[in-house]
Structure 1
Amino acid sequence: MTLHDAGDLARRLAENAEAVCRRYLSAGRRLGNYWLVGDVRNTPGRSLFVRLHDTANGKAGKWTDAQSGEHGDLLDVIRESLGLVDFRDVADEARAFLSLPRPDPIPSSQDRPVRERGSASSSEAARRLWAMSGPIAGTSVEAYLRRRDITLLHGAGALLFHPHCYYRPDEDSPTETWPAMIAAVTDLDGTLTGVHRTWLAADGRGKAPVDHPRRALGGLLGHAVRFGVASDVLAAGEGIETVLSLRQVLPDLPLAACLSSAHLAALIFPPLLRRLYVLRDDDPAGDQALATLHARAGDAGIELIGLSPRLGDFNDDLRALGRGALRAILHPQLAPADVARFLEAADT
């Protein structure tokens, strides 16, 4: 599915906007130049409106949910109303609809049951995306990580691969699909609360050539992408690649990638935690996160130790200087007990 194909499908659907609404938003009804329904998942109501014809205020096929603030086009309607994740399935459904000689009549409630009331949350969407993703072995995710010298991937079950993950720059742009690294964001009990998407080039040589190749979906605040189960010791940082760089020399140290400085500062501490290592990012936001965590850790009786890279971040250290140098950089910064427990034990 190319960018052109997606745009063409969206345009053709917009030319048949009312028919699309009657098929996929059958719980709604027409009012003037709009189709009104509860939400994009076909819940009865009036908070979502779809523009049926071009006007001076906007194009046909565009919709907005006044309650949630969501917006999109008719490809999004097909995706959400049917609960689809893979864009190929959405495109196939759109093509099947457009091949009909004329619009189908409004389905009766017996023919097409209405979904349960209440819109699916972003966390539910994250769970659907996670369920549709697969192992990273032999994929562009593995290739991407290896190009960053991240090759020890045991215990990296928090990472999956999706071959055709949606990417949409803004509401007026057509939907694209790219391979993506899907990372599970979980709470302390291991329950999935969200996902983080990193869109990749098809060959894994880098990120996809889009404006914002990283985006999160679902509940992140206080949670993290976790590698290992923390008890008394944990190392936390912002980026997935940064914390995985430490895993190359400290394979048994539990790690948490919080995905941003704000979320790092809000990390919920495991109940048995006694020492927290924080992977420093050399910028004002990183400094503020470290200061906030230092105050919170002190109040909780947790020892906090900042870990500083020699270069820009620990992945820069790993790639430019190698594992031996990274071990040497970390050795004097670790508590003596953790040198024996995590660093020296990795050699045995």
Structure 2
Amino acid sequence: MTRDASELAHRLAREAEAVCRHYLSNGRRQGRYWLVGDASNTPGRSMFVRLKDTPKGPAGKWTDAATGAHGDLLDVIRECCGLLDFRDVANEARRFLSLPRSNAEPSSNVAHSRAPVGSAEAARRLFAISQPVAGTLAEVYLRNRGIFALRDDGALRFHPRCYYRPDEAAPTEIWPALIARVTGLDGRITGAHRTWLDPDGFDIVRLGKAPIDTPRRSMGCLLGNAVRFGTADDVLVAGEGIETILSLRCAAPMLPMVAALSANHVAALLLPLQLRRLYIAHDRDAAGDFAVAAVTKRALDAGIEAIPLSPRLGDFNEDLLAFGIDKLREVLREQLAPQDVVRFMSLTAAETG
């Protein structure tokens, strides 16, 4: 272990219980140990973390009786947060160590309390412990949907062990997931959207989504808010699905866009005060027709020009997969206002020749 790692592990061990309450919140203290399912914070009792120095060993050391795995609190941070590089693990450890500590009893410590299931706070915590998409199954999933070389807006992350429960009576399952950040106009996280993924790879029927009944779910406050790509000024593209918007984003990466996650939420989307032109990505179904009509009326009432963008097939991701990126750019250029083609697509045209 390097000197830096050894020092960080020692500092974490001095606050072992606080570390466990923060990263292993599904466990509980029992005597001199913290019991939990595993280092990824799965509920259970097979892993125990030593909270105090004892003749058997120092604080911060843990053992998983089910697998024989063992380690220190840096390993807990790596596993729980899904981090790969030590630099990221060290940065997260330093961030935790810089947090203020409360002298209150653990039961009244708000920082370590569980967030209500499905709440905006739960969404913020989920997004915080997720990792960048690059090099993960989420990147593979997007590539299988024809989505390549996206600008990193920080709106998407990946969690390797995201909880899924089919219903309240069913046991909790664990699947990898693409996590999307839902924000308000002020940039504050209000929710998160989860797309659970198939760890075995791409399937032509499920298109890479996990083989579960509802592989997409949202949490937190969605009404009026959206997953945002780029910073909207006077022009914005709004649509339903993340893959639909990301497909358009491949064709026009400089054009600000939002995914409202459903037709009803497109209809209720809060529009920036400075907005002058709104493009609505149209999904070709009854719900999509409703969304276009509803948000168009709201935009026109606010003095905003509203222009629908229509795919050739069911949605723009279907178009991208069927016809390719060049044809999608061509279709988009035909439907955008000429000044927006010059403003947002000239770089793309230059790059693609």
- TM-score > 0.5, shorter chain as reference: yes
Q: Sort the Cα spacing of 1:111 and 1:313 in 2 relative to 1 into closer, same or farther, 3 A.
A: closer
Moved more, 175-184 or 331-340: 331-340
Provide, for residues 152-186 of structure 1, a one-character-per-residue CA deviation record: whole Å limited to 9, x for no partner. Answer: 21133100000000011012211110110000001
The answer as to whether partners of 1:194 and 1:219 remain within 8 angstroms in 2 is yes
CA distance in 2, matches of 1:240, 1:173: 28
Q: Sort the Cα spacing of 1:91 and 1:332 in 2 relative to 1 into closer, same or farther, 3 A.
A: closer
The answer as to whether partners of 2:37 and 2:47 remain within 8 angstroms in 1 is no
CA distance in 1, matches of 2:37, 2:195: 16
Q: SS of the counterpart of 2:107?
A: coil
Structure 2 equivalent of residue 158 of structure 1:
155
Matching residue within 23, 26, 34 for 1:79: 26
Q: Sort the Cα spacing of 1:86 and 1:222 in 2 relative to 1 into closer, same or farther, 3 A.
A: farther
The answer as to whether partners of 2:147 and 2:250 remain within 8 angstroms in 1 is yes
Matching residue within 256, 259, 279 for 1:257: 259
CA distance in 2, matches of 1:86, 1:191: 32
Q: Sort the Cα spacing of 1:188 and 1:86 in 2 relative to 1 into closer, same or farther, 3 A.
A: farther
Which letter maps to 2:146?
D
Identity across aligned pairs (percent)? 57
Structure 2 equivalent of residue 275 of structure 1:
277
CA distance in 2, matches of 1:342, 1:156: 16
Structure 2 equivalent of residue 199 of structure 1:
196
Which letter maps to 1:255?
M
Structure 1 equivalent of residue 42 of structure 2:
91
Please give the residue correspondences for 1:9-24 in structure 2 after superposition, counting only pairs within 5 Å: none
Q: Sort the Cα spacing of 1:282 and 1:149 in 2 relative to 1 into closer, same or farther, 3 A.
A: same
Q: SS of the counterpart of 1:164?
A: strand
Q: SS of the counterpart of 1:324?
A: helix
How far is the alpha carbon of 1:92 from its aligned partner?
6.3
How far is the alpha carbon of 1:290 from its aligned partner?
1.0
Q: SS of the counterpart of 2:280?
A: strand
CA distance in 1, matches of 2:312, 2:324: 12
Which letter maps to 1:141?
A
CA distance in 1, matches of 2:312, 2:153: 26
Q: Sort the Cα spacing of 1:87 and 1:342 in 2 relative to 1 into closer, same or farther, 3 A.
A: farther
Please give the residue correspondences for 1:237-252 in structure 2 after superposition, counting only pairs within 5 Å: 237-252=239-254
Tell me the number of residue pairs that the alignment of Structure 1 and Structure 2 aligns: 263
Matching residue within 173, 178, 195 for 2:170: 173
CA distance in 1, matches of 2:28, 2:256: 39
The answer as to whether partners of 2:146 and 2:320 remain within 8 angstroms in 1 is yes
How far is the alpha carbon of 1:219 from its aligned partner?
0.8
The answer as to whether partners of 1:152 and 1:247 remain within 8 angstroms in 2 is no
Structure 1 equivalent of residue 287 of structure 2:
285
The answer as to whether partners of 1:225 and 1:257 remain within 8 angstroms in 2 is yes
CA distance in 2, matches of 1:309, 1:171: 38
Matching residue within 298, 301, 320 for 1:299: 301
How far is the alpha carbon of 1:94 from its aligned partner?
2.7
The answer as to whether partners of 1:87 and 1:164 remain within 8 angstroms in 2 is no
Structure 2 equivalent of residue 144 of structure 1:
141
Structure 2 equivalent of residue 123 of structure 1:
120
How far is the alpha carbon of 1:93 from its aligned partner?
4.7
Provide, for residues 197-251 of structure 1, a one-character-per-residue CA deviation record: whole Å limited to 9, x for no partner. Answer: 0000114420000000000011111111011000000001000000000111111
Which letter maps to 2:279?
Y
TM-score by length of 2: 0.68
- Aligned structure 1 segments of 4 or more residues deviating by more than 2 angstroms: 78-82, 84-97, 110-121
The answer as to whether partners of 2:130 and 2:159 remain within 8 angstroms in 1 is yes
Q: SS of the counterpart of 2:42?
A: helix
How large is the Cα RMSD of the aligned pairs?
2.9
Structure 1 equivalent of residue 54 of structure 2:
none
Provide structure 2 residue ranges, at least 5 long, that are not aligned to the other structure.
1-20, 30-34, 49-64, 66-103, 203-207
Structure possessing the higher relative contact order (Cα contacts under 8 Å, 6 or more residues apart): 1
TM-score by length of 1: 0.69
The answer as to whether partners of 1:143 and 1:203 remain within 8 angstroms in 2 is no
Q: SS of the counterpart of 1:294?
A: helix
Is residue 225 from structure 1 mapped to residue 227 from structure 2 by the alignment?
A: yes
Structure 1 equivalent of residue 217 of structure 2:
215
Provide structure 1 residue ranges, at least 5 long, that are not aligned to the other structure.
1-40, 42-77, 100-109
